[in-house]
Every structure is written in structure tokens, then in C-alpha cells.
Amino acid sequence: MIVIINYGLGNLFSVLGAVEKLGFKAKISSKIKDMEKADKLILPGVGAFSDGMKNLHELGLVEPLTKLVVENKKPILGICLGCQLMAKESDEFGHNQGLGWIDGSVIRLETENKELRVPHVGWDELLQRKKSTLFEGIPEDALFYYTHSFHIKCKNVNDILGECDYGGLFTAAFCHNNIYGTQFHPEKSQLHGLNLLRNFLEKR
């Protein structure tokens, strides 16, 4: 069973649809008991960092979810805002503390090419920096769908699986032990996105 974490922000049903299309049983839930029973978790998200953390705190999910992921090593995939919330902090609309699962900070996307617009919206390459089960069967020049104004800056370069060049490089995918994150939306990225989701859901 796959649990898609509902904390009031995110494209929950598009993620659910993608997971079910791949043949996996899944449910949307904000109950920690469901998350404890799950084989794997997905933390999606669209919106502001501060709202995401506020909602997680109000639902009482921060401490039990941290125990489940960090101590018990439950596999989890964060998508877009979901992956950003895994960082230690963010400077979006002031300083905000994150879940702290990944040693890194969420910062505004800055481009060297002033003709490039922020937010970064649309299809762009994923530059694979490390071999990962997440990328099995996905070509080096695969395109994924992005929509964001902020990104996570990992302090440990070994955590970085892939980058995107949008007027400068930023982390597009990371992994730290059982914790995975993608700045792009695999559920909106057609065949390559579905393959990436399948890799996360199938592999150990």
C-alpha cells in the first residue's frame, strides 16, 4: 500500500491517478496510522513553504512522520514543495524551519539569463549526476515538467542525483538513504515520469 500524504496542499489526485495507473494500491491520508502501515510514502505539494509546514504542524504530523522516516527508514518521495519541506530551512517569505531530513536550504531560483522567467514553468532536462534506481530505464536527455520559484540547495553534494540548468544549475532530484525528492512533477511528466515513479515504488 502506498500512502499519499494529505496536508492540505498539493495535486493529490493526479499523484494518486499516476500511482494507480502503474498498478499499485494507494490512498490519500493525513492519518499517521495509515502512514505506519504503508510500504512507501509520497509527500506531494504545491504552494508556499510556510503554509506547508504550518499545515503539517496543525495536523500533528511533524514529529511522528520524522520518526517514521528518519528513525524507522520508511521510504518516501517528496515532489516539488514536498521535497522542499524536507530541507532544514527556507527563505521563502521570511525564514521558515523545515522538517530537517535533508541537510540543505530552500532558496529563490536565480537565473544568469535575465530573459528567463521565474517561476520556472514547463518542460526541461534532468541532468543525471549519479546512478540511481530512480533513473533506471530513463534516458540521459529525458524531459520532465517543472513549476517552481524556489529550489533546494543541498549542502552534501553526494545527496544530489540530478540537476537542471535554467540560467544556472539547481538540484532537480536528490536521495539521502530512504529519502527521495524531485523538484519536477513526475506525475505530470508522461512516460519518463511514470517510469521514475515505478522505480521508486518497485525498488528497495
Question: What's the per-residue H, E or C state across the chain?
Answer: CEEEECCCCCCHHHHHHHHHHCCCCEEEECCHHHHHHCCEEEECCCCCHHHHHHHHHHCCCHHHHHHHHHHCCCCEEEECHHHHCCEEEECCCCCEECCCCEEEEEEECCCCCCCCCCCEEEEEECEECCCCHHHCCCCCCCEEEEEECEEEEECCHHHEEEEEECCCEEEEEEEECCEEEECCEHHHCHHHHHHHHHHHHHCC
Catalytic residues: 80, 185, 187
